[in-house]
Amino acid sequence: MIKNKLYFFGYGNMAEAIYLRIDKSSYENIFLIEKDNDRRAYIDKKKYSKTQILKNINNIKFNNSDIVILSVKPKQIKLICKEINSLILEKRDIPIIISIAAGITTSTIKNHITQNNLSNLQNHLNIYRAMPNLCAINGDGITGLYGKSKDEKKLNSSSIVSKIFNSVGEILWVKKESDLNIVTAISGSGPAYIFYIMDVMINSAKELGLNEGDAKKLVTKTVVGSGKMGESIQNLAEQISKVSSKGGTTEAAISLFNKKNLNLILNQAIKVAHSKSEEISQD
């Protein structure tokens, strides 16, 4: 079996989350290309096996079975694509490219990579996008995936992409690239929404007299437990009514949520995040 080489361009928090959990035995070699000196020193200390840490792309030679993960900030993608462009001379030098940069479309990446000299290779690029979330760090993430390859049968690229992101949690392939804006507004930004609610609950518990540690324990266990239960509950609204006994505590809180239109506020916030994601994708 031919083993692929795997390249991370940029080794920040998300690249590290993925690197630490992937099955290293699937790759012939792994390259971490990181320009920040302190970050490279940090990786060096870990003494990872089968892994080379590089400052730049000098001496890299791609081939078709290689996989490149673009894991820099969105504004740094253009420069990385320019660097990748300089490594591609012909069709057989084109790796499978997976970008995790929020809001940068596959066509933008294609255009950046094939600028100047490579327009004839536009149709041969295999570009995928992944939108993981913060929970990937603990292996509990959900990643939205988009992309297709003309050489799917030969390269098996979609399963390679699936396998990488399955190592940090669940995956969800979307049919339209624009659906990644929904993924961004729901699961990409979602951990921050939940942290926001957790923070309000912890502060309320403290105001009512609990210490910080006890408040945090009650809230985190409630969120984790509810999330687990929520997976198998078919109708959440029905479940809420079931647990809100007439004249009881839950009913009192939920009816205040409804009176103050909390549902509308959350719905609008998610739509604002979605519009923002669309706007960034058009820049």
Ligand X SMILES: NC(=O)c1ccc[n+]([C@@H]2O[C@H](COP(=O)([O-])OP(=O)(O)OC[C@H]3O[C@@H](n4cnc5c(N)ncnc54)[C@H](OP(=O)(O)O)[C@@H]3O)[C@@H](O)[C@H]2O)c1
To the nearest whole angstrom, how small is the minimum distance from the Cβ of residue 103 to ligand X? 7
Spell out the SS3 assignment of 230-259: HCCCCCHHHHHHHHCCCCCHHHHHHHHHHH
List, in order, residues 6 or more apart from 34 with CB less than 8 Å away.
Answer: 8, 10, 11, 40, 43, 53, 54, 55
Quick one: 80 or 96, whose CB is closer to ligand X?
A: 80
User: Which residue ranges make up the site for ligand X (CB under 6 A)?
Assistant: 9-15, 33-36, 39, 71-74, 76, 79-80, 100-102, 131-134, 188
Quick one: 10 or 169, whose CB is closer to ligand X?
A: 10
To the nearest whole angstrom, how small is the minimum distance from the Cβ of residue 100 to ligand X? 4
To the nearest whole angstrom, how small is the minimum distance from the Cβ of residue 33 to ligand X? 5
Quick one: 9 or 155, whose CB is closer to ligand X?
A: 9
CA proximity to 52, closest of 35, 33, 67, 39: 33
Quick one: 12 or 218, whose CB is closer to ligand X?
A: 12
Quick one: 7 or 27, whose CB is closer to ligand X?
A: 7
Pair 123, 114: CB distance under 8 Å: no
To the nearest whole angstrom, how small is the minimum distance from the Cβ of residue 53 to ligand X? 11
To the nearest whole angstrom, how small is the minimum distance from the Cβ of residue 137 to ligand X? 8
Quick one: 172 or 218, whose CB is closer to ligand X?
A: 172
CA proximity to 156, closest of 28, 63, 65: 65
Burial class of residue 245, CB neighbours in 10 A (0-12, 13-18, 19+): exposed
Parallel, antiparallel, or unpaired for β 4-9 and 27-33?
parallel
To the nearest whole angstrom, how small is the minimum distance from the Cβ of residue 46 to ligand X? 15
N-terminal to C-terminal alpha carbon distance within the chain: 42
Parallel, antiparallel, or unpaired for β 126-131 and 96-99?
parallel
